[in-house]
Structure 1
Amino acid sequence: MSSTADTLTIDIPVIDIAPFIANEAGSADVVRAVEAACRNLGFLLVTGHGVPKDVTARLYDTARAFFDEPQEWKVGQGRGTSEIGGVAFSPIADEALAATMGLKTPGDFKESLNYGPRLPGDAWPSKPSGLESAFEDYFSEMEILAGHLRRIFCSAIGLAPDHFEKEFVDHLSALRVINYPEQHVEPEPGQLRAGVHTDYGFMTILRSEASQGGLQVRNRDGEWLDAPSIEGAYVINIGDAFMRWTNDEWVSTPHRVANPPSGYGGTARRQSIPFFLNPSKDTVIECLPAFAGQGAKYEPITYGEYIKVKTGQAFSKG
């Protein structure tokens, strides 16, 4: 185990957070490295997080088995909203994320399963076996990791370690598994695997994988950076809600998932698992005192009001 924050010489830093979790020497280095990443780019990768590999593998494999089912069966699953804590299925091109940034594009070339214990969904499908428990177990692990990351953020800002905990009672976090199928035909003009967007909430914790056609992050110079794929690491990024809390000093950075190169001969299928850490519906998002020196840029807004606007844009058919 490293005693310091290990930052690779790449544009998106990779930070070992194990010293902070264990309260060992090097915790302050972890905090400084995370704070710098959040200010400069809003993206980082973390290792030393303690998430069990078998829990991740079980969700990955079980969700993949669902996506391997015939399309005509899948489109009849997870389309209702009558069950809190149920599952929601979003078929290919159902969502156009670029719309949240005012861009009109075809729907994104992806499909997804979505779950949150306090979010509406439908009955879990009859197959594959174990899908519901795989989502629940992974969600629990993400709650633990998110708690560690919140405490790192608090240390970086100079807040009490539990400052944000009251905002995450009855939190509206969501777990999604996304399947990016192989593209056997050319995408429509302007269609990406996931259009350019920023995430809406507090932060996102992403389990990604290497593929042709992957996650790209736009830095402050407008350059698109390919996010590295490092076995066992998680990609972390700041969401819009937390950027507002910091008065835009910590960055919610635009990102996208690119198409594989045209005519690519190998398998370009990709599967990712983002966990969207969101506060409770009634949480008021307003400038933290540590960032209010030049005056607050935004009026206070509840998270429920904010997320309603953003999701309405993403799933608009107009």
Structure 2
Amino acid sequence: MINTKIRDDKLQTLVSRSAVPIIDLAHCGKSLVNRVGQQLHKAFTEKGIAFLVNHGISEEKIKNVWDQFDNFLDLPAEVQDRYRRKDGGNSGYVSPRVERFDKKTTELRHAFNICQLDDRNIPKEPLPDFADDITTLANDLKAMSTYILKAMEAALEIPAAYFVDKHSQMLTGDDVNMSTLRMLYYPAIVDDEPGQSEGAIRCGAHVDYGTFTLLAQDSEGGLEVQLPGSEKWERVGHLPGAILINGGELLSIWTRKRYHALPHRVVIPEQDHVRTRGRHSIAFFCHPNNSTMIAPNDLSEDAEQTDDKVYSAYELIQQKFNDTYGGRSK
């Protein structure tokens, strides 16, 4: 145990090295959208990642959602099965060992995807407060995403509402927009259960699919990234109260890779006193409307470059889902 504590004390993170940009959203009205846009532009082009602070979403709202997901996981299996994600859709519960980003490594996590704020997709009957807590947080994250889209419009010097209009159907259903609020719980790893974590990971290495991701996580750790130009995995660390933002692959394609889609993963912590605790996080994946055509020329100053293939957002994201779920449609 003494050695474990020593390793923990010496564990360097990007936070401890002040290697992640911090963007302050305090009083982020229209007058500050240009400043936020420039800071996001610098973060996405240089690091692919940033922390958003003073964003106005309380820790209580986030913790309420973590608690509600814990309550869901305490329900009988037959009740959970009513809300299980079905092939052909993205909404619903996903149990451990189903998703495999590299198609082979076992991934140990529970997830619940919310793509539409309605009674059909949210377990309201067994958990009366679930819908209200989820809806409140989802609307806050959607509003934050809209502000970020406006800031990126300013930074990229593209017409006002270009991004906002193309993301206008967030959380109205994955048949029109694949944006998703995802609750995540990574179970504790108990070493006296043989084979529980052998050859496994909490979340395999991948880049996110869409425009960007907002991530709220607890202090348990395990998130690692590869910064641009490096193949080294580095632990991010925890900044209390901050929401992490990282660019997605679709945004990288849209900007001809000026904005980085950052590879990341969640490993099982090596410290015994951390790995034996569960880990919570909430991710909001901001995606364009499915019909949006991803045309890099629209964001390029060089109008003569027309050799980029144009895809719909749905085509690009669907292929990624198929890879994650072993060829099955998501």
- Same topology, TM > 0.5: yes
In the alignment, does 2:53 pair up with 1:44? Answer: no
Question: Separation in 1 of the partners of 2:199 and 2:118?
Answer: 31
Q: Is the CA contact 1:18–1:47 (under 8 Å) kept in the aligned structure 2?
A: yes
Q: TM-score, normalised by structure 2?
A: 0.81
**Greater displacement, 246-255 / 118-127:** 118-127
User: Which SS does the other structure have where 2:127 is aligned?
Assistant: coil
Tell me the equivalent position of 2:82. Answer: 77
Instruction: Map Cα deviations across residues 255-296 of structure 1 (whole Å, 9 max, x no partner).
Output: 000112175476431010000011111010110444364836
In the TM superposition, 1:86-97 aligns within 5 A as: 88-97=92-101
After TM superposition, give the deviation of residue 53 of structure 1 in Å: 3.5
Tell me the equivalent position of 2:29. Answer: 22
Tell me the equivalent position of 1:3. Answer: none
Q: Say if 1:119 and 1:250 are closer, same or farther in 2 by CA, change over 3 A.
A: farther
Return the letter of the residue paired with 1:138.
Answer: L
After TM superposition, give the deviation of residue 32 of structure 1 in Å: 2.7
Tell me the equivalent position of 2:140. Answer: 141
Q: Say if 1:201 and 1:127 are closer, same or farther in 2 by CA, change over 3 A.
A: same
In the alignment, does 2:236 pair up with 1:231? Answer: no
In the alignment, does 2:314 pair up with 1:304? Answer: yes
Question: Separation in 2 of the partners of 1:298 and 1:190?
Answer: 39
Tell me the equivalent position of 2:5. Answer: none
Instruction: Map Cα deviations across residues 28-76 of structure 1 (whole Å, 9 max, x no partner).
Output: 5433322111001211111121224433232122112222345x34652
Q: Is the CA contact 1:80–1:121 (under 8 Å) kept in the aligned structure 2?
A: no
Q: Is the CA contact 2:114–2:122 (under 8 Å) kept in the aligned structure 1?
A: no
Tell me the equivalent position of 2:64. Answer: 58
In the alignment, does 2:212 pair up with 1:206? Answer: no
Q: TM-score, normalised by structure 1?
A: 0.84
Q: Is the CA contact 1:244–1:298 (under 8 Å) kept in the aligned structure 2?
A: no
User: Which SS does the other structure have where 1:93 is aligned?
Assistant: coil
Return the letter of the residue paired with 2:52.
Answer: V
After TM superposition, give the deviation of residue 145 of structure 1 in Å: 0.2
Question: Separation in 1 of the partners of 2:271 and 2:131?
Answer: 36
Count of residues paired in the alignment: 302
* Structure 2: runs of 5 or more not aligned: 1-14, 171-176
In the alignment, does 2:289 pair up with 1:280? Answer: yes
Q: Is the CA contact 2:114–2:121 (under 8 Å) kept in the aligned structure 1?
A: no
Q: Is the CA contact 1:285–1:302 (under 8 Å) kept in the aligned structure 2?
A: yes
After TM superposition, give the deviation of residue 245 of structure 1 in Å: 0.7
After TM superposition, give the deviation of residue 202 of structure 1 in Å: 0.8
Question: Separation in 2 of the partners of 1:316 and 1:109?
Answer: 17
Return the letter of the residue paired with 2:21.
Answer: P
Question: Separation in 2 of the partners of 1:309 and 1:315?
Answer: 10
Q: Is the CA contact 2:37–2:148 (under 8 Å) kept in the aligned structure 1?
A: no
RMSD: 3.0
Tell me the equivalent position of 2:269. Answer: 260
After TM superposition, give the deviation of residue 153 of structure 1 in Å: 0.9
Q: Is the CA contact 1:192–1:259 (under 8 Å) kept in the aligned structure 2?
A: yes
**Greater displacement, 130-139 / 119-128:** 119-128
**Greater displacement, 201-210 / 260-269:** 260-269
Out of 192, 209, 213, the position equivalent to 2:201 is 192
Q: Say if 1:224 and 1:290 are closer, same or farther in 2 by CA, change over 3 A.
A: same
After TM superposition, give the deviation of residue 160 of structure 1 in Å: 3.0
Q: Is the CA contact 1:35–1:156 (under 8 Å) kept in the aligned structure 2?
A: yes
Q: Is the CA contact 2:107–2:202 (under 8 Å) kept in the aligned structure 1?
A: yes
Identity %: 20
Instruction: Map Cα deviations across residues 63-93 of structure 1 (whole Å, 9 max, x no partner).
Output: 12222345x3465231265999x95000011
Larger RCO: 1 or 2 (CA < 8 Å, sep 6+): 2
User: Which SS does the other structure have where 2:200 is aligned?
Assistant: coil
Return the letter of the residue paired with 1:167.
Answer: K
Instruction: Map Cα deviations across residues 139-172 of structure 1 (whole Å, 9 max, x no partner).
Output: 1111110011111111111123312122122232
Q: Say if 1:74 and 1:11 are closer, same or farther in 2 by CA, change over 3 A.
A: farther
**Greater displacement, 52-61 / 168-177:** 52-61
Q: Is the CA contact 2:73–2:80 (under 8 Å) kept in the aligned structure 1?
A: no
